[in-house]
Amino acid sequence: MKKLIILIVAIIIGIQPVLKADEGMWVPMFLEKLNIKDMQQKGFKLSAEDVYSVNKSSLKDAIIIFGGGCTGEIVSPEGLIFTNHHCGYGSIQKVSSIEHDYLTDGFWAMNKSEEIAIDGLTVKFLVRMDDVTAKMFEGISDTMTESERAEVLSKNEDAIIENATKDTHYSAIVENYFSGNEYYLVVYEVFEDIRLVGTPPESVGKYGADTDNWMWPRHTGDFSIFRVYMSPDGKPAKYAKENVPYKSKKFLSISIKETKPGDFVFIMGNPGSTERYMTSFGVEEAVNESNPAIVKIRTSRLDVMREFMENDAKVRLQYSSKFAGVANYWKYFQGQTKALKSLKVADVKRGIEADFQNWANADPNRKSKYGEVLPTFEQAYKSQAEFNLANWYFREAFFGGAELLRYASGFRKLGKLLSEDTVNQESVDKTIADLRHSKEAFFKNYYKPLDQKWFAESMSLYFWDIPQDQQPEILVENAKKYQGDFGKWADDVYRNTLFADEAGVDAFLDNPSAEKINNDPAIVIWTDFFNTYMHANKPKMQPVQDLMDKANRLYVAGLREQSPNKKFYPDANFTMRLTYGIVGGYSPADASEYKFYTTTEGILQKEDPTNPEFVVSAKLKELILAKDFGQYANSKGEMPVAFLSNNDITGGNSGSPIMDAKGNLIGLAFDGNWEAMSGDIAFDPALQRTINVDIRYVLFIIEKLGGAKNIIDELTIVK
């Protein structure tokens, strides 16, 4: 009785008693076997087949992969998509200009003819998943080396995909689950005509920006709206005027009912990557070396971008999406390191490993199979330490370095074609046409002075932080030639390359030659860095990676064998998953308690006209002060903005629908909380929370701020 009274009081005052999050990113096709009874006991009102079915429409048919790294959901019979603002950010930026700055001002199509096609944007619908583990393991033996094993797996994968997609318009991949112990075929239908329907201004969709990123309380209207189009005969097609809105197999209804602590909720989406089975050795490497290196490089890159963006409105628009992409995980890795330390994750992992080793040693057969797994990990990480930094600097400071180098590398194919004894003019002409087409997109969002400075900074970082015997010769030679003045080297490179400005590229493509390509300083630099990595450093890394792969596979297999009655879920791999839990707040620290939702009052409390991250438009402020919230206010007359739930998500889940027990959309997942940033490696049930934008705030912004009643009228709203 006492517990019931406490719960009732907590609901009344809007604070949820301490909750334990529901860990697990579950594969929808296995809900019937693993989860449905537990879900229904906790309040779920649907069946497993309502979620995933290949025989009838189900919720999986309303969930999409949006672009290359997010989730979206279909919310109308005509292919209307809701996703996050930060997921649509790059597409919105792509169609923006100084004259039509949709990032700053927002955009609302008042009818379908005003919707804007986004070149290159795709969405994927999951058609089905099949267990192909047995087929993938055909020809595999325990005596194989990892390289031999990988070769057989690759051949089997190609055959499986070819058989699955033959005579269809589908695409398919084979993904490994449980560190290579299981394999599943994942078949998709890919649509290429996607159009922008609506987006709030940045002051709403990115309110709080980097300051509030990964933080609670949050007041960000993180949503954007698109539409899928198809050919008149119902098939995926590239953009064409005659294309028609997608006829939805399934779409989500939207509930604007009150959300309360303890309400059952679930999220479906495509979480990108987790490492929940990482050992203590991996945690130590991340904390002490990998994460600090990433943060250091990205800090330098952000500083360079910020310097130019703050002084030029055009550059700000050109680099806004790039800046956001770099900044997001710059802050993430800082938070992850802090959480891994404060939550003593390495110690927790060591406890798990000790239990595993004792279990393995207790039986001769288990000891033979699993006894050397952890010593193998230890040795592999010790060996990896030799070149771990060089590996990360190649990714972040070179591959993520100067855009000129990556762009110039795209001309190497033309150089090879022009170098052949018998030149295939048809192939040359096609390649030139492709390069002319890509040129416009590249230079639209390119600013030479910014890139030149980042080249100098990234080369300096690489030279001073990486052992010289792991550096490309061209870096060592030019550091000596310019006496450590990388700015002077950058001056020479950008003055003499053909590829740093559009006019130079046009002139070259009018009169191309292999000699010009092969001798261009940008291509020479790219080639030497790439060859050093591929032919000098990577061969040293591969044996260690093989050890890691084998140890991971055996470790995960052993953990599952050690606990046969435990329900395991595989690490995230950007395929569809479901996570379920409840709405509720949390306690971030001693004597602190966070309520489960925020309101528009918090927007005004954070307002700072001198800080672009916290600007509130006059119209939004007027609506808030007048409490002009329409049907979207809660029972207290407040306008909810965001709310917390204890679902288990990660990157890739951005834009995922959070749904009530009946499968109605109540919000969009868009972030996690700072205190549990170690979640990709170790899930903390007391702290882990998902931050969701409340669907009522989304609808309020569409209707009241955007005036796009036509979008509201297209939705099915449950009151």
DSSP β-bridge partners for residue 643: 597, 692
**Catalytic residue status for 85:** no
HSE of 629 in the Cβ direction (CA atoms, 13 Å)?
22
Q: Give the 3-state secondary structure of 250-266.
A: CCCCEECCCCCCCCEEE
The residue whose two tokens read 């980042």 is: 454
- DSSP state for residue 674 in the 8-state scheme: G
DSSP 225-285: EEEEEE-TTSS-----TT-EE---S----EE-SPP-TT-EEEEEE------TT--HHHHHH
- DSSP state for residue 706 in the 8-state scheme: S
Other CB atoms within a 10 A radius of the CB of residue 337 amount to: 20
Produce one character per residue of 452-486: b if its CB has 16 or more CB atoms within 10 Å, e if not.
bbbbbbbbbbbbebbeeebbbebbeebbeebeeeb
Residue 65 tokens read as: 């992969």
Active-site annotation holder among 654, 656, 660, 684: 654
HSE of 353 in the Cβ direction (CA atoms, 13 Å)?
22
CA-based Rg of the chain, rounded to a whole angstrom?
27
345-361 helix and 313-342 helix, angle to the nearest 10 degrees = 50
DSSP 378-412: HHHHHHHTTTHHHHHHIIIIIITS-HHHHHHHTTH
Using alpha carbons only, give the angle 72, 77, 80 rounded to the nearest 5 degrees. 35
Distances (CA, A) of 484 to 465, 477, 488, 489, 657: 13, 10, 9, 9, 51
Active-site annotation holder among 22, 50, 212, 222: 222
Other CB atoms within a 10 A radius of the CB of residue 246 amount to: 25
Active-site annotation holder among 76, 86, 91, 520: 86
**Catalytic residue status for 86:** yes
Q: CA-CA distance, 633 to 226, in Å (whole number)?
A: 25
Residue 12 tokens read as: 């009344």
- DSSP state for residue 614 in the 8-state scheme: G
Q: For residues 645 and 594, is the Cβ–Cβ distance under 8 A?
A: no
Count helices and strands (H / E) in the chain: 31, 20
**Catalytic residue status for 654:** yes
Name the residues annotated as catalytic.
86, 222, 654
